[in-house]
Amino acid sequence: MKLTKAVAVVGFISMTAVILNGFLNGSFSQDGAELLANPWGIVSLVDLYVGFIIFSLWIAFREKNPVTAGLWIILMMVLGFFTASLYLLVVIRKSRGDWLTFFLGARKEKLLADAG
């Protein structure tokens, strides 16, 4: 779990730095237009959002409260893997070293009871 936490911390710091750089030194509309004008830019965006959706499915699965899940998913779609890194840090803290809790979240007890 230490490696997972380290990756999440590095991801969170890296995403914070690049998002700040983008806002401070870039133009969202101008740079976005250039990205959408490039076929590989479109491929990159589709690839990115497929990843966001897959990660969001895991969030929706493991969260008990649909409002909480919905808020995380909205943040995921807006802030990308910055949100995923933050989510991982929160989940790691809540799981207290238990991998089943980390992966299954609120569904852990029911799934274990159904399996037993």
Report domain extents, the chain.
2-115
Q: 74 versus 116: which is more confidently predicted? A: 74
pLDDT(116) > 80: no
Phi and psi dihedrals of 2, rounded to 5?
-65, -40
- 53-90 pLDDT tens trace: 999 999 999 999 999 999 999 999 999 999 999 999 99
Q: What is the pLDDT of residue 3?
A: 95
Phi and psi dihedrals of 98, rounded to 5?
-95, 110
CA distance 74 to 83: 9
